[in-house]
Amino acid sequence: MKKIYSALMLSAVAMTGLTANGAKPDWEHPGSWQLFEQANQFRQVNGTRPIVADFNNDDRFDIYYGGQNYDDEYNKPGLWPYPFFSLMYIQQEDGNFKCLYNRPEYVETRQEEIKDGDGNPVLDGEGNPTYESKDYYRQAFPENGIIPGRHQNYAVFDYDNDGLMDMYVFMTVNSDDYGASYRDQLYFEQVGDRNCWMTCQLYHNNGDGTFTRIDEHGLPKVVRPDANADEAERLYNNAFAVGDYDRDGYIDIAICAKRTNRVSGESYRIAELYRNVNGTGKFERMAIAETKGGAWIEEQLGDPAIQLPEGEFLPISGNVKFADLNNDGWLDLLFTGYAPWQSVHDPAHPENINNVSRVYLNKDDGKGGRKFVDVTDASQFLAARSAGIDLTPNSETGYFDLYTGGYVDGGAGWIIRAYLNNADDGESGVYAEGLDLTFNGWDNADWKEDYRPWMRDFNADGFVDMYLDGVDNNNVFYGNAAGTFEKECDYMNVRDFAKDSGVNPADFNGDGRADIFTTGWCYAEGREYQYVRNQDSGGGWDKGAYMFENQHENVPEDLVAPANVHAKIEDGMLTVTWEDNDDLTCAYNVYIETPDRGIVNLVAANPVTGFVRNTTDRHVAVRPGVQSYSIPATAEKGYKVGVQALSLWTEKYSPFTWSVEDLSSVGSIAADNTNVKVTVNGDAVLVNADANADVQIVDMLGRTVATGVTNVPVNVAAKGVMIANVNGKAVKFVK
């Protein structure tokens, strides 16, 4: 799948503190991946996957992960020396990372009897027991506000349109020693009668690297999806997907998982859609599916089989993606994974095949709303289970192809397969029979599951590549003109992450290439081991957290920004139109500031610099050829409208192109703010500029919260994301 790159034009501004050179480790390895100089700043853990995003809106990527490891800081009375962590690393201006986490804290000093090696009291000269003072500790609630745990799965999205990245987080703990004083107060629920406790929580981003838990959000309590792992320990499925399916201006969430504790009359597995209720922190389940053939839920808990209720999605545990699969401008739903074949009442589904895949296209329901219509060709589309999936645009058609791995019943066994999107042939099922992929240099492809493919053009040669996350000897496999994948080398310490690992590709140094952050079990030795673990000696298998820099010779070309952006309000709708560039591996990110709904942004981005704040779910941006987007207009003025291009093969993005029409009641966003700088010190906001001018500070709803002049502190009592307007220019800041 060859990509024809666009001509070199405008360069997006990438503001990051990480450097590509500097005081780095003094070794060299074959291939094109090297450790960042900051790679020794991260706590080594396993049993977690990281998430990378700009959590405090400073155009620098931050990193969050949980996990578990021995830590001598916790080897104190009252604590367990193998704690679960909640680690938020905020990248600083100099490129280093500050960690907000769960530290031990002193509780009290107790007088305890001194005993000998046999457990008998040690007596004084008068025959009385002797005592010693012991300081007791407990694990403090994390500074970042997110509950500690492991085996996390995340949905990262701005649910309330304040411009900050919020999170929905699933996690588990499973130690009796840890539990009594900790699990109960932190909202964990036991899974059946097993030694496994889980929690699902929605967190609101406070803008400074800390989060506040939101109660009664309406989202379900689930465990990680899989047919076999009842302890919910699998890290490689895509259990959550986020996107605005109904284009009401608020991002919704879809879930594909298993119930924590099922009851009579319920399916063990769920595939459900939850609508965001106006950014309030509440979500409502939507039963708006037309599942092909209907479906039957398998017998369970002594109940007879029951028919799938009207409007329900077919229950599956595995993966879910929001994406516009047929390029009609609306987000569709794709589910893949496991369901007992008896529960699938689709005549085309083969008997004794527990792999189940469903494509639901987003359609007008004829009543002013949306519905999801099952178009699956179950006789051919049987994606693997027990592994993750990824979507990537085909450079020749512009449609999303599906890459999947894991196990397939019926003789196929363990495979890695691509399903080509046939929507341009009339949407007949969207995906047909898959293409088995060839990997040269990976000899243990058989009998593997528990992994996830990540599709990028890592070496910028015009062919899509695959990083395999989770299996032994993880590595990047590079696509070529022959349609096969070749392994470059065994370095990157991507090697040998045998279990409990996870990665997140992200551009840490602003060159447009996908770097890698990874956690989990790993083998290292010599100077490499010593550097990353800050030790003088040692080597071997251990828990790890690594950040690798992509140093391939090719650098992706800059993207051409969309042209002729227009916005109009007509018949109660705000409609944005633009002209695409010629790159079919791009998508188009719409940014709308509204007077009453905050920021409507398909993929969170800085409107001034174009910096894209989220590293996942970028594929929910508008597909090539659509060239329009609309949301309900609830006011006549107060809108700012822009569109940027995003690459889905690299980490490149273009600047925003702003609407020719002025629908705003405040100053326009300006891409050049070199002579305007905002500094926040408590309630004092200083807007520095080259000359004296009036200052208007507005919130995300367009309300004026303070006024003043440049170069003189302005008192601002409000908190949150705000914009300082000066002579038609605007600078966003967080207070």
Tokens of 290: 């037309």
Q: Which of the four pLDDT bands, split at 50, 70 and 90, describes residue 502?
A: confident
Q: Give mean pLDDT, residues 17-31.
A: 51
How sure is the predictor about 669, in pLDDT bands with cuts at 50, 70 and 90?
very low
Rounded CA-CA distance 59/614 in Å is: 11
Type of residue found at 81: P
pLDDT at 20 over 60: no
pLDDT score, position 472: 60
Instruction: Assign 3-class secondary structure to 111-143.
Output: EEECECCCCCECECCCCCECEEEEEEEEECCCC
Out of 27-36, 166-175, 662-671, which region has the weakest mean confidence (pLDDT)? 662-671
Tokens of 122: 């040690």
**Degrees (nearest 5) of the Cα angle 535, 541, 546?**
65
Per DSSP, 300 falls in state B
- The closest of 621, 609, 584 to 669, measured between CA atoms, is 609
The rounded mean pLDDT for the chain is 84
Q: What pLDDT score was predicted for residue 240?
A: 95
Q: In terms of Cα–Cα distance, which of 638, 608, 641 is closest to 729?
A: 608
Q: Span 719-730, mean pLDDT? A: 79
Mean pLDDT, range 249-272, rounded to an integer: 87
pLDDT, tens digit (0-9, with 9 covering 90-100), for 135-166: 998 888 889 999 888 888 899 999 999 999 99
Token reading at 524: 């290292």
- CB 376 within 8 Å of CB 351: no
Q: Is 105 exposed, middle or buried (0-12, 13-18, 19+ CB in 10 A)?
A: exposed
List C-alpha distances in Å: 129 to 91, 109, 112, 126, 132: 53, 18, 10, 9, 10
Give SS3 for 499. coil
Closest CA to 54 of 684, 651, 698: 651
CA distance 62 to 212: 18
319 in Cβ contact with 391 (< 8 Å): no
What DSSP designation does 424 have?
G
In order, the DSSP letters of 41-70 are: SS--BBS---EEE-SSSSSS-EEEE--B--
Residue 594 pLDDT: 93
Q: How confident is the model at residue 674 (pLDDT cuts 50, 70, 90)?
A: very low
For the residues of 162-228, what is the DSSP string, one character each? SSS-EEEEEEEE--HHHHTTTTGGGT-EE-TTSS-EEEEEEEEE-SSS-EEEES---PPPEE---SS
User: Which tokens sit at 332?
Assistant: 């569709």
| pLDDT at position 113 | 93
- Cβ distance 388 to 337 under 8 Å? no
The tally of CA atoms less than 13 A away on the side-chain side of residue 671 is: 17
* Tally of CA atoms within 13 A in the half-sphere of 221 that contains its CB: 15
Reported as half-sphere exposure (CB side, CA atoms, 13 A), residue 288 has a value of: 23
For 480-495, the pLDDT digits (tens) are 999 899 887 665 544 4
Q: pLDDT tens across 74-102, in order?
A: 899 988 888 889 999 999 999 999 999 98
